[in-house]
Amino acid sequence: MAARPGTVGIVIGAVLTVVGGVPCLLCAGLAVSARFGPASSDPHGYTMIFGTLFAVICAVPMLAGLAILLPSIHRRRSSYPGQHDVGQHNDRVQP
């Protein structure tokens, strides 16, 4: 059975998502507008450089909040050829 976050976990996840997501979207919007806007608005490219940097930094708490909110049953599991299903463990050695 998958562990589900309680009320406190949901509140913490929502706060992290909003606190990280809003500045991330604003900084990413500034970087995109500096890239595709007129060159006279950002002649040296600082808005594009620092907007991208701050968007990446603000994305970390947003993604952590989303990881708390998303139940583990819905997360994708990595697999490789020959891997057994997660629920089926075979502890015996095959001859």
Please give the Cα distance from 88 to 35 (Å, whole number). 51
76/74 Cα distance (integer angstroms): 6
- When pLDDT is cut at 50, 70 and 90, the band that residue 57 belongs to is very high
Residue 91 has pLDDT above 90, yes or no: no
CA atoms within 13 A on the CB side of 83: 8
Give per-residue pLDDT as tens, 11-32.
999 999 999 999 999 999 999 9
pLDDT at 90 (0 to 100): 53
pLDDT tens digits, residue range 60-85? Answer: 999 999 988 887 666 666 666 665 55
With H, G, I as helix, E, B as strand and everything else as coil, classify residue 67.
helix
